[in-house]
Structure 1
């Protein structure tokens, strides 16, 4: 039987050159986050299905990869989902972080400043830019209810993007509580809020008309929809409450370092957001390259005591795609040197030379080539990025 060599649809393989780029991006982000007092953690890829299903994950709950029960636990007399499945692959890193904190809070500082990078899974329809397995890169603060937690994130994440080479970007910010005010004042009921938000969140993809058409298809009255579309043109001065005043304070501080604007149409898809929400959009590339928000109630699933939390996520795969499309070269790369010996009597000399060159900060690889094919093999090394190739012999 002949098996297919292609990876599963919606997943991808990483070749050595791409892996080098991915590692450089991760290391660059890590250095910035660590320099501002954030500590790195790691959480499991698998979570209990009951927890995932009750996470307020918005439309992502329809995209869960669910895992069948194993062994004696798996019985087919009941074919319901709850009877067949008990685990699932994580669809983001925020819910696992919340569970992680609740499980380890006695050993963690307060507030807890953390970051993590790892694969997440969503049963997406595979297409360009949408994968079933992809890397997320999250930074969070747990235990600080003040607006200064958001401010800290908004001077940290843009710094990481700047170190990656992004300069022409803008932070967009809104608040779910202000957004709810706009939705309710348009005539919608409070129970309609999440449904309306799911549709408005698609505005950057389908446009105003697409939002109107989807809300009509959901059975909402045309006058309410028209009122909502007018409300979504509001600026921050429209509001006069503590939430708008906090955003004004935030914008005033962050604007001294990075461009930031209020955007009443900003929604963010996750239903667990409770306060400020934000995205970073590039002036050069369509779509957002980072996003996040406050999720104060998510930890309530694990304990009675309310614990505030806010997070920001860089679009890791988006950045990798941008770099590859633009032929990005990693700056200050170490020099790659190939040491080639043909006669076995020079193997010790080649190894000694490699150790000396490595100690000088170079990347060095030693090869034993056949004399008859040496030209072809050396050409291959040059194509692999070796800047210098040294034949190791008596000279």
Structure 2
């Protein structure tokens, strides 16, 4: 039986043209984040199954690629449950592994620690546009800083990177706080033990609209008075820092006064300092699904793409799950695959790319001439040109077409008899 040549469902082979775009995006992200003082680290792709299923990752815990025990530890005959068969799994994001990494290595790291991670993660999700079962994430996190300086730096660094990579696409950073989410729901009379369900419904706002949210909350049995009050509050709010401060005054009985002022201060500072052109908007309907978020949350939407292209927030309780002592932590993740998808759909052009030239050598040429050609190529490379040296195919036209897809725009042909 012939081996299967197609990749596993939800995973894919990446052709050279896209690989160049991916490398370009990754280099831009890395260069930008390093300029903000972030240090690159790496964590294993395999994590302990106990960590992955610790109820930190929300619905992603349903999508784990679990790994069977090995050797004598794998005993199918005595296994009574799934946990008897598996002891590890592929990471579904980079945040949980970073928290374990910091817990294990914190004594050797500066505080606060500004971490940069870039790597593959795996989720047994339903593949769709810009969403795969194996994909790359690019995260920056600040660990050990409880002030809003962390959020400000993360937003500035991420928007600077996106501005460089996608200069043609307008984008919006939406921002909220988990405390404000809770305060609004309590103010409107929802029971505290039912808030998770309220937020799950609210998170559908962009799909079903305010009327849909109201209908679903009523269907779930919440009081009509609470639902109407909630809908009125949501629809009355503005998007700027002043709206946040005003909401803080409204929620004075159920919200710590510092929460709204902290969020407004983040917005004011980012607006004052940012050099990239983007919209920063308070969004009281922003929820983000991860249960580990404890404070500020943010998400980026970009023109030309239906979903978010970046997101993150504060997760001050996760490291404490490992160490027994809570550590302030905040992170922002760029949806690498979605950014690459946008660039590929725009033609895959790379800003300020080095010129690419192909040397095509006719087959049958005296090998004694190779040195002369190679010397010429080395001279051009030294001058900053990317030079490919390759034998000329019989179908030269098709060969050039394929190389052109990889960005080679100039061709030099070398023949047996003479240089043309």
TM-score interval, smaller chain = over 0.9
Name the CA shift for 1:379/1:228 in 2 (closer, same or farther; >3 Å).
closer
The structural deviation recorded for 1:310 is 0.4
Partner residue in 2 for 1:340: 360
What is the CA distance between 1:121 and its match in structure 2?
A: 1.2
Name the counterpart of 2:350. Answer: 330
* Aligned position for 1:100: 101
Cα offsets for 1:48-82 (capped at 9, x unmatched): 11111114211111112211112211223233122
Q: Verify: 1:74 aligned to 2:74, yes or no.
A: yes
Is residue 262 of structure 2 the alignment partner of residue 239 of structure 1?
A: no
State the secondary structure of the residue aligned to 1:355: helix
Q: Give me the whole-angstrom Cα distance separating, in 2, the residues matched to 1:16 and 1:308.
A: 41
Distance 2:317 2:262 in 1: 19
Q: Is the 8 A contact 1:55 1:95 kept in 2?
A: no
User: Quick one: structure 1 residues 25 and 355, their matched pair in 2 at CA, closer, same or farther if it must change by over 3 Å?
Assistant: same
Q: Deviations over 1:304-351 (max 9, x none)?
A: 222100001111111111111222410222222222333133222222
Change (3 A) 1:381 1:185: closer
Shift of 1:83: 1.2
The answer to whether residue 314 in structure 2 is matched with residue 294 in structure 1 is yes
TM-superposed CA distance for 1:386, in Å, is 2.5
**TM superposition shift of 1:130:** 2.6
State whether residues 99 and 302 of structure 1, in contact with CA within 8 Å, keep that contact through their aligned partners in structure 2. yes
User: Is there any run of 5+ residues in structure 2 with no aligned partner, and where?
Assistant: 238-242, 250-256
Distance 2:279 2:3 in 1: 52
Output the TM-score relative to the length of structure 1.
0.92
Are the aligned partners of 1:337 and 1:390 in contact in 2 as well (CA < 8 Å)? yes
Among candidates 359, 376, 381, match of residue 382 of structure 2? 359
What are the within-5 Å matches in structure 2 for residues 45-56 of structure 1? 45-56=45-56
Paired residues, number: 394
The CA distance in 1 between the partners of 2:55 and 2:345, in whole Å, is: 35
Equivalence for 1:19: 19
Indicate yes or no: 2:293 matched with 1:273: yes
Q: Structure 1 353/5 Cα, relative in aligned 2: closer, same or farther at 3 Å?
A: same
> 2:176 aligns to what?
174
- 2:32–2:157 Cα contact (<8 Å) kept: yes
SS of the equivalent of 2:323 reads coil
Cα distance change, pair 225–58 in 1 and its aligned pair in 2 (3 A): farther
TM-score, with length taken from structure 2: 0.87
1:271-329 Cα deviation digits (max 9, x unpaired): 00000111122245433221110000010011122210000111111111111122241
**What is the CA deviation profile of residues 93-119 of structure 1, one whole-angstrom value per residue up to 9, with x for unaligned ones?**
111110011111111100000111111
Q: Which position in structure 1 is the counterpart of 2:412?
A: 390
Deviates more, 1:296-305 or 1:282-291: 282-291
Task: Provide closer, same or farther for how the CA distance between residues 67 and 230 of structure 1 changes in structure 2, counting only shifts above 3 A.
Answer: farther
Distance in 2 (alpha carbons) for counterparts of 1:29 and 1:155:
13
Determine helix, strand or coil for the equivalent of 1:232.
helix
**Structure 1, unaligned runs of 5 or more:** none
Contact preservation (8 Å) 1:340, 1:366? yes
Change (3 A) 1:339 1:46: same
With 159-168 and 203-212 compared, the bigger mean Cα shift is at 203-212
State the distance in 1 between where 2:84 and 2:389 align. Answer: 56
How far, CA to CA, are the matches of 1:133 and 1:181 in structure 2? 37
